[in-house]
């Protein structure tokens, strides 16, 4: 019960009031030590509700946005989840808590140094159901496809066709789309393979770089 736990507890209480967290998402955020996924120099800011720089021009998303994406995904125990953009590994850690020991999170990160750091942090903290791979997340990760859920932590110019192809029938994807003006899209593939998309609202993310993203 150190100072970080108390800060994390207060963060969860604020998020419950502000966005109405489900119990499973609230529990996951309470369990994951966000301060261990950020650089030491900003550790004291880990439980403030805003993004933080993690190096290489990338950020760890604000806690409320991590929570919102988890809620929109409607994660279930046992889900196989694709994360595009591992960053520090924090979001994957939260998702891994929700999907449980029978679930798995495959996280694709294009920057090798970030992938390596995320891998080491996740391993040190005992997250055994997260696999971090280096690659172009804009085209997904075919070796583990298809996925129950897919989420993207960077904004794409459009919904990538190759990600849609890797989403199971009955699955869901959450992805920010846009350049200067971005919106978070919730994409559902029904049991017959038909796609429906709804716009959740305005957001702000770093750009998705890759074959089906923006050019570096």
Q: Out of 61, 88, 107, 138, which one is annotated catalytic? A: 61
Q: How far is CA 170 from CA 32, 105, 166, 215, in A?
A: 29, 18, 12, 31
The crossing angle, in degrees rounded to 10, of helices 23-31 and 90-99 is: 130
| Spatial contact of 174 and 187, defined as CB atoms under 8 Å apart | yes
Pick from 69, 26, 29, 64: which is nearest to 187 by CA?
A: 69
61 belongs to the catalytic site: yes
The DSSP result for 108-122, as a single string, is EES-HHHHHHHHHHH
Pick from 60, 61, 71, 76: which is nearest to 16 by CA?
A: 71
Residues forming the active site: 61
């Amino acid at each position: 019960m150190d100072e970080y736990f108390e800060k994390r507890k207060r963060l969860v209480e604020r998020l419950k009031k502000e966005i109405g967290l489900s119990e499973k998402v609230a529990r996951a955020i309470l369990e994951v030590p966000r301060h261990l996924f950020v650089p030491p120099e900003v550790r004291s800011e880990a439980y403030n509700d805003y993004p933080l720089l993690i190096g290489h021009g990338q950020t760890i998303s604000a806690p409320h946005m991590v929570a919102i994406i988890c809620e929109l995904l409607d994660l279930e125990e046992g889900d196989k989840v694709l994360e595009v953009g591992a960053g520090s590994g924090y979001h994957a850690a939260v998702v891994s808590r929700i999907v449980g020991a029978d679930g798995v999170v495959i996280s694709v990160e294009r920057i090798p140094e970030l992938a390596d750091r995320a891998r080491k942090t996740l391993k040190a903290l005992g997250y055994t159901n997260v696999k971090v791979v280096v690659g172009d997340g804009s085209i997904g990760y075919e070796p583990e496809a298809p996925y129950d859920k897919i989420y993207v932590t960077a904004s794409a110019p459009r919904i990538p066709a190759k990600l849609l192809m890797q989403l199971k029938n009955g699955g869901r994807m959450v992805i920010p789309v846009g350049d200067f003006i971005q919106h978070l899209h919730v994409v559902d593939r029904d049991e017959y393979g038909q796609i429906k998309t709804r716009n959740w609202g305005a957001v702000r993310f770093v750009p998705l770089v890759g074959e089906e993203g923006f050019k570096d």
